[in-house]
Structure 1
Amino acid sequence: MNKRKIVVIGNGMAGVRCVEEIVKINPHSFHITIFGKEPHPNYNRILLSKVLQGDTSVESITLNDWNWYEENKITLFTDEPVVKLDTEQKCVITAKRTVEYDELVLATGSLPFILPLPGAKKEGVTAFRDIDDCEKMIRLSKKHEKAIVIGGGLLGLEAARGLLNLGMKVDVVHIGDYIMDRQLDQTAANMLQKELEEQGMNFLLQKHSAEITGHKRVKGLSFKDGSRREADLIVMAVGVRPNTELVSGTAIKTNRAIVVDDYMKTNVPNVYAVGECAEHRGLVYGLVAPLYEQGKILAAHLCGLETTGYRGSILSTQLKISGVNVFSAGEFMDSDDTQSLNWHDGIRNTYKKIVVRDNKIVGAILLGDIQEGAKLFGMIQKKTDYAVLEKEMKSVGDSPANGDALIASMADHDIVCACNGVSKGSIVNAICEQDLQSVDEIKECTKASSSCGGCRLVVAGILDYVQRNGAGEDKVKETICACTDAEHSTLLEVIQLYPGDSQSQIMNRLDWNNEDGCVICRPALYYYMGIHSQSLPDIIEERQTDGTYVIAPRMYGGVTGADQLKQIANVVEKYAIPLVKLAAGPRVELYGVKEGDAATIRAELNAASPLYGKKIHAVGTCAGIRYAGEAIQDSVQMGMTLERELETIIVPANVTIGVSASPRDEAHSLKEDIGLIGVPGGWELYVSGERFYAPMTDEKVISMAAALLQYYQETAFYPEPLPVWIKRLGIVFIREEVLKRKIERKTKKIQQAVAMLQGR
């Protein structure tokens, strides 16, 4: 079998993360070649400031050493930049060789922006972008005393802190009114500036640089207002620009960066781009979390796996600047349509700001104490109602002394390490299962805190909490009902342990107080036994409290006709049905059916008997393509098809699927348990109002919805509503599990087909 050839141009964090994911998914299907222009293996560029500050070494920030490339049979050419692309012949060219590809991944990153000032090419002027820049600054600090850093953003402040550690006097020049104006508001920035000034930094704000003075080497910096400062070293940290030089002159489309779609594909076949050189939906991302997510999406696509595609990212910053913890996410600046809540503790020097729009949390800033950062970021992503946070704050309190309560209040699916997508539950499981004793061991095992390191404090808090309290907080035992002391999880375990037991045997094993059960526990027993047991319950129909039954004939997709309506009317008259009610779905429910008439009425109305669970109802809006001009897809037909295809799946609570013909009618779908919205080329799938998967053909909709509901059936408690189940497990976790199952089924089918061919 010939392996497909993947060439990656760029040995940085985004490109190599894509390769890591490919190796994890399918290590034997590709021959991978990586070109890097630096002479080093892949390293963590974010931690260069730690090297400059003397807190760590170049070796310690290496993410993948030489052995990793060799062990995974990856060909790495370092210190060898690609100089030309030939997308027609599908090859890349360096000064030493030409290498062909089947798939090309552009991960060329970005270049530091150098201000076009007179004197910018003098000796002693440097950027702060790679290991060479770092080593150059260390060398110069041994000979000189005064440094100027142009740029009061994150990179500039980290460079300044490093130069202070190296014994230099440092001025930070910033064109804005306050430092870190892309991550902080003025209050937080002023607090941070005060801290940094106490450490020795000097700030020159609202300063416009005019010229770098000196003959051959730097002597100082003059400003447009006529003032000047002396300096032996000038570091430019004023931003970066996407590195698109290599694609210049090719057919690859660029705007601000290389334009890609949701699968990181460029306009040229078999050519992809990830990281800081890629532009997705008009945006270029520079933080590590979006770049890692892009790499993961591209890897799945190259390996032939189903994926939702990259949908863009909400940006967050969580880090430590010169010993000061800072967190920022989402929309942190006030505007006419937002409200903000602020807490400022001058004694502890802490600051918290939460920004709300339409009662939804859309942004936050934390300074000093950032333990709530992970939780707030999750709420910002989900646009959680502020009332939820307010309720938690009342129960947890709002002081640093409540660190334990904050950690205990985090759900297992809450993301702690945004860079690597590591949840609290993953960290807790790793600590318990592998007896981890330090943050570094957790980092090695889970990757949490291995990138920017901003979550290290929270990871340490989780470790400390688990070591003192165990993996879970004490919970009040919630029994199924008064008939038994068993919880839902206990009942499930017993049914799975004794799959051949009858209903009465299961009840005996759990010391049921009432041998007949009640209207609460009987349906739960029927449901769990029907799903997980080899022995179906003795009773399959659940009576109402008055001994009668409810029969609800199916109206697929909410659509009916004269024949069905006549049948229902005849049954109502013939059997003297006392109550006919329109219910959600929509459907008709016949109440008060006598036990002796139930089977006959079901047969006449072609209404299946409910075995042991609830049903799925799908309803389309608009009257489909035929009757609604604004419709993009036929929502009514899709609703009917969905309900017919999914009606055999029994779920723990009724599920309603809303199907909208176009985004103009999305409100209908987004308020239902599951929503489908018609878009050009297919459908977008939403769960509890959050995007789950897109785009999809009609066939994929059926497949994905079935897989999702099957997982809901197997893992939810009876009668846990789907939105509650989503909140308990987390939508990201559920999506990954559903996709993993679909992949496993697809792989199994391929293996079976190969085995059949080999057996011929």
Structure 2
Amino acid sequence: MDGTRRRLVVVGNGMVAAAFLEELVAGSDGFEVTVFGAEPHPAYDRIKLSSVLAGQCEPESLTMLDEDWYAAHGVTLRAGREVVAIDRERRMVRDCTGAETPYDVCVLATGSDPVVPPIDGTHRGGVHTFRTLRDVDDIIEAGQTSSSSVVIGGGLLGLEAAYGLRRRGVEVSVVHLMDRLMERQLDAVGARVLRGELERMGMRVVMPAETASILGNGRVEAIALRDGRVLDADLVVVACGIRPAAGLARDCGLTVGRGIVVDDQLRTSDPRVYAIGECTEHRGLVYGIVAPLNLQARVLAAHLRGDESAAFEGGIPATTLKVAGVHVFSAGAVEAEADDDLLTLEDTASGIYKRVLIQDQQLRGAILVGDLSTAPQITAVLAAGAHVNGNRLSLVAAPTGEPPQSVAEGLPDDAVVCGCNGVTKASIVAAIRQQGCSTRAEVTRCTRAAGSCGSCGAIVDGLLAGCGVEATAAAAEPDLCACVPLGLHPLRDAVRERNLRSVQAVLEALGNGTGCAKCKIALSYHLDAWWCGDYEEDRSARFINDRVHA
């Protein structure tokens, strides 16, 4: 070993570990880095597992850092080599092969484990969790012969699993213990709007209902509910949440609460061992969303490079999600209090709901379903201290098809544009102006903005336009709408080339993922013409008279 370089061992090779490695190698050559991953893959985007399950992308497209990246940056990758023990006294980690690797600094990025409730019968064949690429492969294989499936859990993971199975033509029932879906992120109205969208996709929602047991002779045949009902199922996905994977830290004597306890520099109770990601507990909080965890990665990389001012002081309590194809944003408080001012917008026919809670001019909470055009503005208010100035109604503004450039220009530089990956407006603008990014795809490669759920794509396009990036060849033909920045003829060609047969599929593949009343109606009309009626009709894309009188 080069005596001037410290030996850094990273235990875990997920999204946050990848973000940390990129930050570290970009500003330092002072470490000899070895990364251990329990899975036999390089780092990949776990957020998009549901897209693989739904058949919307290939597993290879999820790769964040390929093997060439590790080699090019002198990082030793040991994929499929789970670390099973840490000897803090000897400063060694031991992997599943029995081999030991010494460290000067160790970073734990072990992520989280799926929660499997103590339900009788979870050992039966045909019962799966939904957390890794291997899980997805197993579910896809099982779905090929499944006639009916049950997903236990109506949170984000459960709904994503149900969406993927439904997209593959499998009958799906979602069994949820609580009286509304995603109760940690949505109020009753938002959950009702989401449920309506899911049921339009053909899902069955059973709640409140508790699973008592999984029935079958060797393989699952049905599930029994506590109230006596029995649901047929030859495939069951258990998606009841996650918990910090802190067992390794606990076994080696580190301080563990709900997660591995860390300070503002992400140090554990051992000053030579750090932790980042879903496995951590910071100031009593455990984070399950990517944006604040990527901030942890940046802070730790800066700290290890010698920046004594680098500190993680918590993340903005906001999350951007794509739930079964429906865009959802949730920040702060979910339940309203008596003294709250409520600002709401509700268009259930279009699957759009917005609600903001303000108390004493302070933003307490926000929920957006179906249209996230105001999410960057809300996130900027939270980042600036949550004080609400000016036009409060703009926080729940209806989608208007306003050009994304004008929306983007109104955001402060530190506004988080990509909630999935914690990418700010300033970072995107720097990628455009300093790194020469001229398309959304190039911005995604440089910053990961718009690379996960895709809901911020229109804002990224607006920032490109605001930086003077010239439109491409088809610009002479007017775009269908700001939500779908293509002229009619290029749009038709792209739709037919990609075999897109629903309004939502077009919006996800070629637009901002959500659309507005204007473009949904236009897309429905054109799809009908282009496919001679052989397309998936979207009720929310009808004219209002058609919806009411159908």
TM-score, length basis structure 1:
0.59
Q: CA deviation at 1:452?
A: 4.3
Query: In structure 1, what residue type is equivalent to 2:305?
Result: C
Tell me, yes or no, if structure 1 residue 414 matches structure 2 residue 415.
Answer: yes
Q: Distance in 1 between matches of 2:159 and 2:268?
A: 35
Query: In structure 2, what residue type is equivalent to 1:402?
Result: E
Q: Do the aligned partners of 1:297 and 1:307 also contact (CA within 8 Å) in 2? A: no
Q: Do the aligned partners of 2:15 and 2:43 also contact (CA within 8 Å) in 1? A: yes
Cα distance 1:31–1:99, how it changes in 2: closer, same or farther (>3 A)? same
Cα distance 1:189–1:466, how it changes in 2: closer, same or farther (>3 A)? farther
Instruction: Write 1 or 2 for the structure with the bigger share of helix.
Output: 1
Higher relative contact order, structure no. (Cα contacts within 8 Å, ≥ 6 residues apart): 2
Q: Do the aligned partners of 1:319 and 1:455 also contact (CA within 8 Å) in 2? A: no
Q: Do the aligned partners of 1:288 and 1:451 also contact (CA within 8 Å) in 2? A: no
Which residues of 2 match residues 467-616 of structure 1 at below 5 A?
none
SS in 2 for 1:40: coil
Match of 1:313 in 2: 315
Cα distance 1:193–1:381, how it changes in 2: closer, same or farther (>3 A)? same
Q: CA deviation at 1:75?
A: 0.8
Backbone CA RMSD of aligned residues: 2.2
Match of 2:8 in 1: 6
Match of 1:65 in 2: 66
Q: CA deviation at 1:246?
A: 1.5
Cα distance 1:188–1:60, how it changes in 2: closer, same or farther (>3 A)? same
Cα distance 1:461–1:70, how it changes in 2: closer, same or farther (>3 A)? same
Q: Do the aligned partners of 1:146 and 1:230 also contact (CA within 8 Å) in 2? A: yes
Match of 1:440 in 2: 441
Match of 1:170 in 2: 172
Match of 1:298 in 2: 300
Q: CA deviation at 1:342?
A: 0.8
Which residues of 2 match residues 140-151 of structure 1 at below 5 A?
140-151=142-153
Q: CA deviation at 1:457?
A: 3.8
Q: Distance in 1 between matches of 2:119 and 2:348?
A: 41
Match of 2:377 in 1: 375
Query: What do residues 212-247 of structure 1 show as CA deviations (whole Å, max 9, x unaligned)?
Result: 000101001001101110001110110111112213
SS in 2 for 1:176: coil
Q: Do the aligned partners of 1:10 and 1:106 also contact (CA within 8 Å) in 2? A: yes
Cα distance 1:432–1:245, how it changes in 2: closer, same or farther (>3 A)? closer
Cα distance 1:298–1:385, how it changes in 2: closer, same or farther (>3 A)? closer
SS in 1 for 2:392: helix
Q: CA deviation at 1:148?
A: 0.4
Q: CA deviation at 1:439?
A: 1.9
Query: What do residues 487-544 of structure 1 show as CA deviations (whole Å, max 9, x unaligned)?
Result: xxxxxxxxxxxxxxxxxxxxxxxxxxxxxxxxxxxxxxxxxxxxxxxxxxxxxxxxxx
Cα distance 1:21–1:387, how it changes in 2: closer, same or farther (>3 A)? closer
SS in 2 for 1:14: helix
Q: Do the aligned partners of 2:292 and 2:422 also contact (CA within 8 Å) in 1? A: no
Q: Distance in 1 between matches of 2:91 and 2:457?
A: 43
Match of 2:208 in 1: 206
Q: Distance in 1 between matches of 2:50 and 2:154?
A: 15
Q: CA deviation at 1:435?
A: 6.1
Structure 2, unmatched stretches of 5+, are 472-550
Moved more, 224-233 or 245-254: 245-254
Match of 2:81 in 1: 80
Q: Distance in 2 between matches of 1:82 and 1:429?
A: 38
Q: CA deviation at 1:200?
A: 0.6
Match of 1:327 in 2: 329
Match of 2:244 in 1: 242
Tell me, yes or no, if structure 1 residue 216 matches structure 2 residue 215.
Answer: no
Match of 1:670 in 2: none
Match of 2:450 in 1: 449
Q: CA deviation at 1:416?
A: 0.8
Match of 1:616 in 2: none
Q: CA deviation at 1:343?
A: 1.4
Tell me, yes or no, if structure 1 residue 272 matches structure 2 residue 278.
Answer: no
Q: Do the aligned partners of 2:18 and 2:64 also contact (CA within 8 Å) in 1? A: no
The percentage of counterpart residues that share the same residue type is 40
Query: What do residues 645-696 of structure 1 show as CA deviations (whole Å, max 9, x unaligned)?
Result: xxxxxxxxxxxxxxxxxxxxxxxxxxxxxxxxxxxxxxxxxxxxxxxxxxxx
Moved more, 31-40 or 94-103: 94-103
SS in 1 for 2:278: helix
Q: CA deviation at 1:131?
A: 0.5
Q: Distance in 2 between matches of 1:466 and 1:324?
A: 30
SS in 2 for 1:379: helix
Cα distance 1:272–1:55, how it changes in 2: closer, same or farther (>3 A)? same
Match of 2:45 in 1: 44
Match of 1:155 in 2: 157
SS in 1 for 2:442: helix
Q: Distance in 2 between matches of 1:198 and 1:347?
A: 11
How many residue pairs match? The answer is: 467
- Structure with greater Cα Rg: 1
Query: In structure 2, what residue type is equivalent to 1:221?
Result: I
Match of 1:570 in 2: none
Q: 1:359 aligns with which of 358, 361, 373?
A: 361
SS in 2 for 1:34: strand
Query: What do residues 440-496 of structure 1 show as CA deviations (whole Å, max 9, x unaligned)?
Result: 1221133212344342343244446666999xxxxxxxxxxxxxxxxxxxxxxxxxx
TM-score, length basis structure 2:
0.80
Match of 2:475 in 1: none
Which residues of 2 match residues 593-672 of structure 1 at below 5 A?
none
Query: What do residues 141-167 of structure 1 show as CA deviations (whole Å, max 9, x unaligned)?
Result: 112221100111111111001001122
Query: In structure 1, what residue type is equivalent to 2:64?
Result: L
